[in-house]
Chains A and B, each alone.
Chain A
Amino acid sequence: MIRRGLLIGLAFGAGAVHIAAVGVLLAMHQRWIVIDVLTLGQAALLLIAGGAGAMAGRALPGLVAGAAAGVPIAALTVIMSIVPLHSIFIALSSDLSNMLTFELGLAAGVAILVGGGAMAGLVGALLRNSPPIVRRAIFPGAIAVVVAGVFQELIQLMLQQYEGPVGDFRDFIYTWEGLSLQGAITIFLLAALCSEVLGFVWRMRAQRLATEDHRRERMIKAGIALVILAVLPAVAGSYVGQVLMLVGLYILMGMGLNLEVGLAGLLDLGFVAFFAVGAYTTALLTADAPHALAHLPYWGAMPIAVLLSIFVGVLFGLPVLGVRGDYLAVATMGLGEIVRVIVQSDFAAPLLGGAQGILQIPKPAIGSFILGSPVSLFYLTLIASAIAAFVAWRLENSRLGRAWMALRDDEDVAQALGINLIRSKLLAYGLGAAFAGLAGSIFATMLTSVYPSSFQLLISINVLALIIVGGMGSLPGVVLGSIVLIGLPELLREFGEYRYLFYGAVLIVMMRLRPEGLWPSDVRQRELHATDETLELDAGTDAVPAQPR
């Protein structure tokens, strides 16, 4: 047990060295969680040691694991004081040394790192073995404090518009620098209390609901999430509105790609092309620019953009009809890149504006009211998403949807069953493209300008990642995936250079913990577990569950 604790501790410690070497640790150290008490960087080190302790299990191994987690980073501190690593590893600066020694000198620093690690490890192990009532209080409390501390700017920004009791509460917990000690304690207690009460209510309910329909329960949860999504920008202001607007655009695209990949099994890495077609069509039809073909109002251009996207989608589908599996991924990626290259090129510049893009795209207007603010555009996106979700939901359970699923499971069998492969595939491309085209159209009017640099391969990758993280073939999964992969990184915008590090780490961790996605569709879930549960194998995989009405 002790040996295992040691190994776990060293592995966690290696993680600590990694975040130190890439500079995240120092960047985190420059932010307070609680003013003059705890920085985010110190919290990260504590969390690493505590996590090692919790994983090691009981008290003594936990203590060992925590101490061992402190050893690599302490060793790094010692090495840094001897060898000028700074000349190669730019993040290992004197500032980092100061942080790791707590400005108390090397010996004291090493002692604190290892000793503090041991204590944190012990606490982690104890917490793990503590009764649920303790854990239910401490974890949410700690998480709430960290969130309140890390996102203090954002939260303060949201609260800034209010005076009166809300304003007083804000001034009580925050100073302009961040969370004060009294604020941290208050938030911890509040969160702990809430968690205990909610936990109690939830367990009561769960006993009552045990026999009721599981599906209904999920519906209600989805409904609550939707209401929160709908209300949030209105109360939280334009920045959150803008972020949610981007999330909404990705939800739209995700739904489109979900038809292609999730239902029809057509792996598409060139999805950004349809997005570009939608955006450029809208731009060319509405902009007050020399390249414009017409000066339609937005509502006139949007349907044309969607139709043209469908057309391009079908056109895309035609050549790659016979291409399967991963070959398809490359073929579609190629098509996506071709669209980007054309849009950017001097060759097509007389028509599409080339590198200079197209500017002066008007915002949509209803009567004399211009949808100018991010929040109002968010509601436009929300409505578009709702319509798209409805369409996608109806499609999923239609004849066509079933044909797609058959196609996904086995193309040859599907054909033998009399499914028209060509028609089904082209429809999948066309309809998927329609959603992306709609998203592109809103994107163009949101930015009032389009530049070729907005249509990178990265967008296709993001959309694919979000539907898989969310759970392939599942509509709520798309929403959840967009929030996690698009919304959260946006909130980390001030971390700039480290955003994609977090993004990569989140993708790896999420896929390892839940390869089926955060909110998998019922069918999918059964398929993935089919190998374990042989009983379900015959019943589950080929039949679509009957639709409760």
Chain B
Amino acid sequence: MRAFRKLYGPMILCAAVAFGMAHPATAATVGPVTDDLGVIRIAKGAPIQIGAYWVLSGADTALGLDEKRGVEIAFKDLGGKVLGHPLKLNAEDDGCNAEGGQTAATKLAANPQTVIVLGPACSSAATPGAPILWQQGIVNICTACTAPKLTASDRKPEYDGFARTVFSDSEQGKADANYVHDVAKAQSVVTVHDGSPYAQQLQQVFADNFKQLGGKVLSQEAIAPTDVDMKPLLTRIASEKPDLLYFPVFTAAAAQIVRQAKSTPGLEKTALMGGGSLLSADFIEAAGPSIVGFRIGYPDLSPDAMGKNYPKFVDEYKKAYNEAPISGYHANAYDGAMLAIKAIEKVAKSDKDGNLYIGKKALRDAVFSTKFDGISGPIACDQYGECSQFKPSVLEFTSADPKTFSVGQNPKKIWP
């Protein structure tokens, strides 16, 4: 065992070195910029490195890949360059889970050239990820994580660097409840979630609001996201005779429910409504002919409400990737990227040699104060990082042909 004993010394030494090494962001002056959280220097000709973490593997790949493409198109629209420096996207995979989010965020935070970070797609990845980034003074603009607590007014200071260009579940759920109660005139509902934090949260907010409005929530059901045989569940729901079934779950499971509900005796008259993750051509193919008449609650995407440029974006997307958008948050990702770039343009300072300097605290403040019209609607952050101006709408699918997918026609806006 002598060999082992020899190692104690070096090991203790290393431990001591490592403990001394944790250095969070501190004030610094580099070049022409002084900043409380430090300054990033980008040498002449070097790229501006934008970090990103999304789910790029496993069952939810489409969700993250869609957002990555949104950002890539945003970069393309900018000509791939800002302030004379090329833009570089360092996208990491987070697997849509907490440990993946933490690892990816750590990797991005460890790169001193990471200016700002976009993503992730899942709130469970953002929860551990955002504080790690902010510890290094890096702002995280989330493109699809909708958990209310991430931008709640009582959020901890470690989330100060977190903003998002996607709306909170609490607003979406409330809007959906209002619509179902006041417009669709449903008296009783059943909700279904798939055990994901997103769906569980959204249906809970919806159910709470619906009850407050005087409606009746007959039951709150749940499934596994990999379930295919929904008939038993639907038969059970049919025995409760709800006016509407609300299931903000993801593509695969939602398609099963849409398809199988149509052929379940007792559910013929029950309206079906889903959530924002289903706004994609992919879902139309998955759900088949039964999709006609299916509704989803989503922020208002019609040109008069927002995003004149959204149709143009979809064209670009199709041209670049040879398919229609594969999930629902590409527009938010595009706007997230635009917000980041606009903020960088605001605060970056060049010296006479062409080097670029970005103050981290200044960048954070710029992100939180930048206002513009994005393709997902007007973008303007409040003090807790909620940047999208939520305007509710309800869309209804009109055709089962995936090729007709186009926000505005299929699905068509039916409210307001």
Question: Direct contact between A and B in the complex (CB less than 8 angstroms)?
Answer: yes
Residues of A within 8 A of B (CB): 86, 90, 93, 153, 157, 160-161, 176, 216, 219-220, 222-223, 226-227, 230-231, 233-235, 237-239, 241-243, 246, 341, 344-346, 354-357, 359-360, 369, 372-376, 378-379, 382, 443, 446-454, 490, 493-497, 499-500
Q: Which of A90, A222, A379, A446 has the most CB of B within 10 A?
A: A379
Structural contact, B197 and A242, CB atoms closer than 8 A: no
Total of A-B residue pairs, C-beta within 8 Å = 158
Structural contact, B195 and A452, CB atoms closer than 8 A: yes
User: Which residues of chain B in 98-114 are interfacial with respect to chain A, using CB atoms and an 8 Å cutoff?
Assistant: 98-99, 102-104, 106-107, 109-113
Structural contact, A494 and B90, CB atoms closer than 8 A: yes
Choose from A219, A241, A346, A451 the contact partner of B3 (Cβ within 8 Å).
Answer: A219
Structural contact, B97 and A453, CB atoms closer than 8 A: yes
A376 to chain B, nearest CB (A): 6
Structural contact, A234 and B14, CB atoms closer than 8 A: yes
Structural contact, B21 and A451, CB atoms closer than 8 A: no
With the chains together, A373 CA to B15 CA distance in Å?
12
Contact A157/B111 with A355-B197, A369-B19, A379-B15 known, Cβ cut-off 8 Å: yes
With the chains together, A355 CA to B128 CA distance in Å?
16
User: A448 to chain B: which residues have CB within 8 Å?
Assistant: 128, 131
Given contacts A241-B18, A346-B200, 14 further A-B contacts (CB under 8 A): A219-B3, A220-B3, A223-B6, A235-B17, A238-B22, A242-B107, A345-B195, A354-B200, A375-B21, A443-B99, A451-B98, A453-B97, A497-B56, A499-B57
With the chains together, A97 CA to B157 CA distance in Å?
51
User: A373 to chain B: which residues have CB within 8 Å?
Assistant: 18, 21-22
Choose from A341, A344, A346 the contact partner of B220 (Cβ within 8 Å).
Answer: A346
Structural contact, B3 and A447, CB atoms closer than 8 A: no
Choose from A223, A235, A372 the contact partner of B7 (Cβ within 8 Å).
Answer: A223
User: Which residues of chain B in 74-123 are interfacial with respect to chain A, using CB atoms and an 8 Å cutoff?
Assistant: 90-93, 96-99, 102-104, 106-107, 109-113
Structural contact, A355 and B193, CB atoms closer than 8 A: yes
User: B103 to chain A: which residues have CB within 8 Å?
Assistant: 242-243, 246, 490, 493
With the chains together, A356 CA to B124 CA distance in Å?
8
With the chains together, A500 CA to B193 CA distance in Å?
28
User: B3 to chain A: which residues have CB within 8 Å?
Assistant: 216, 219-220, 222-223
User: A355 to chain B: which residues have CB within 8 Å?
Assistant: 193, 195-197, 199-201
With the chains together, A495 CA to B57 CA distance in Å?
9
User: A345 to chain B: which residues have CB within 8 Å?
Assistant: 195, 222
A283 to chain B, nearest CB (A): 12
With the chains together, A293 CA to B10 CA distance in Å?
41
Choose from A344, A447, A500 the contact partner of B99 (Cβ within 8 Å).
Answer: A447
Structural contact, A157 and B110, CB atoms closer than 8 A: yes
With the chains together, A231 CA to B13 CA distance in Å?
9
User: B6 to chain A: which residues have CB within 8 Å?
Assistant: 223
Contact A233/B18 with A86-B322, A346-B222, A450-B98 known, Cβ cut-off 8 Å: yes
User: B112 to chain A: which residues have CB within 8 Å?
Assistant: 160-161
Question: Could you name 6 residue pairs across A and B whose Cβ atoms are closer than 8 Å?
Answer: A157-B110, A219-B3, A239-B110, A447-B102, A451-B98, A496-B56
Structural contact, B7 and A499, CB atoms closer than 8 A: no
- Closest B residue by C-beta to A459: B99
Structural contact, A246 and B99, CB atoms closer than 8 A: yes
Contact A231/B195 with A220-B3, A243-B103, A497-B61 known, Cβ cut-off 8 Å: no
Structural contact, A230 and B7, CB atoms closer than 8 A: yes
User: A86 to chain B: which residues have CB within 8 Å?
Assistant: 322
- Closest B residue by C-beta to A376: B19
User: B47 to chain A: which residues have CB within 8 Å?
Assistant: 176
Structural contact, B57 and A359, CB atoms closer than 8 A: no
A32 to chain B, nearest CB (A): 13
User: B7 to chain A: which residues have CB within 8 Å?
Assistant: 223, 226-227, 230
Structural contact, B109 and A238, CB atoms closer than 8 A: yes
Pairs of residues from A and B, 4 with the lowest C-beta to C-beta distance, nearest first:
A496-B56, A496-B93, A355-B200, A373-B22
Structural contact, B10 and A227, CB atoms closer than 8 A: yes
Contact A357/B197 with A497-B93, A499-B93 known, Cβ cut-off 8 Å: yes
User: Which residues of chain B in 27-64 are interfacial with respect to chain A, using CB atoms and an 8 Å cutoff?
Assistant: 43, 46-47, 56-58, 61
* B contact residues, total (Cβ < 8 Å): 57
Q: Which of B4, B19, B99, B193 has the most CB of A within 10 A?
A: B99
User: B18 to chain A: which residues have CB within 8 Å?
Assistant: 233-234, 241, 373, 375-376, 378-379
In this assembly, does B11 line the interface, its C-beta being within 8 Å of a C-beta of chain A? yes
Structural contact, A493 and B22, CB atoms closer than 8 A: no
* Mask of B189-211 contacts with A, CB within 8 angstroms, 1/0: 00001011101110000000000
Structural contact, B322 and A454, CB atoms closer than 8 A: no
With the chains together, A256 CA to B102 CA distance in Å?
25
- Closest A residue by C-beta to B5: A223
With the chains together, A219 CA to B7 CA distance in Å?
12
User: A450 to chain B: which residues have CB within 8 Å?
Assistant: 98
User: B199 to chain A: which residues have CB within 8 Å?
Assistant: 355
With the chains together, A369 CA to B57 CA distance in Å?
37
- Closest B residue by C-beta to A218: B3
Choose from A223, A375, A493 the contact partner of B4 (Cβ within 8 Å).
Answer: A223
- Closest B residue by C-beta to A219: B3
User: A241 to chain B: which residues have CB within 8 Å?
Assistant: 18, 106
- Closest B residue by C-beta to A496: B56
Q: Which of A157, A346, A496 has the most CB of B within 10 A?
A: A496
With the chains together, A233 CA to B93 CA distance in Å?
21
With the chains together, A90 CA to B106 CA distance in Å?
32
Contact A231/B14 with A452-B195, A494-B93 known, Cβ cut-off 8 Å: yes
Structural contact, A493 and B104, CB atoms closer than 8 A: yes
A287 to chain B, nearest CB (A): 13
With the chains together, A86 CA to B323 CA distance in Å?
11
With the chains together, A373 CA to B351 CA distance in Å?
34
Contact A449/B127 with A246-B99, A375-B21, A494-B93 known, Cβ cut-off 8 Å: yes
A201 to chain B, nearest CB (A): 19
Structural contact, B222 and A234, CB atoms closer than 8 A: no
Q: Which of B107, B156, B323 has the most CB of A within 10 A?
A: B107
Q: Which of A222, A379, A493, A495 has the most CB of B within 10 A?
A: A493
B369 to chain A, nearest CB (A): 29
User: B14 to chain A: which residues have CB within 8 Å?
Assistant: 230-231, 234, 379
A393 to chain B, nearest CB (A): 10
User: A220 to chain B: which residues have CB within 8 Å?
Assistant: 3
With the chains together, A223 CA to B1 CA distance in Å?
10
With the chains together, A376 CA to B21 CA distance in Å?
9
With the chains together, A527 CA to B274 CA distance in Å?
58
- Closest B residue by C-beta to A501: B57
User: A222 to chain B: which residues have CB within 8 Å?
Assistant: 3
B7 to chain A, nearest CB (A): 6
With the chains together, A497 CA to B95 CA distance in Å?
10
With the chains together, A234 CA to B104 CA distance in Å?
19
Structural contact, B11 and A356, CB atoms closer than 8 A: no
Contact A453/B96 with A355-B200, A369-B19, A375-B18 known, Cβ cut-off 8 Å: yes
User: A237 to chain B: which residues have CB within 8 Å?
Assistant: 21, 110
B137 to chain A, nearest CB (A): 14
User: B58 to chain A: which residues have CB within 8 Å?
Assistant: 500
With the chains together, A227 CA to B107 CA distance in Å?
23
User: Which residues of chain B in 289-343 are interfacial with respect to chain A, using CB atoms and an 8 Å cutoff?
Assistant: 322-323
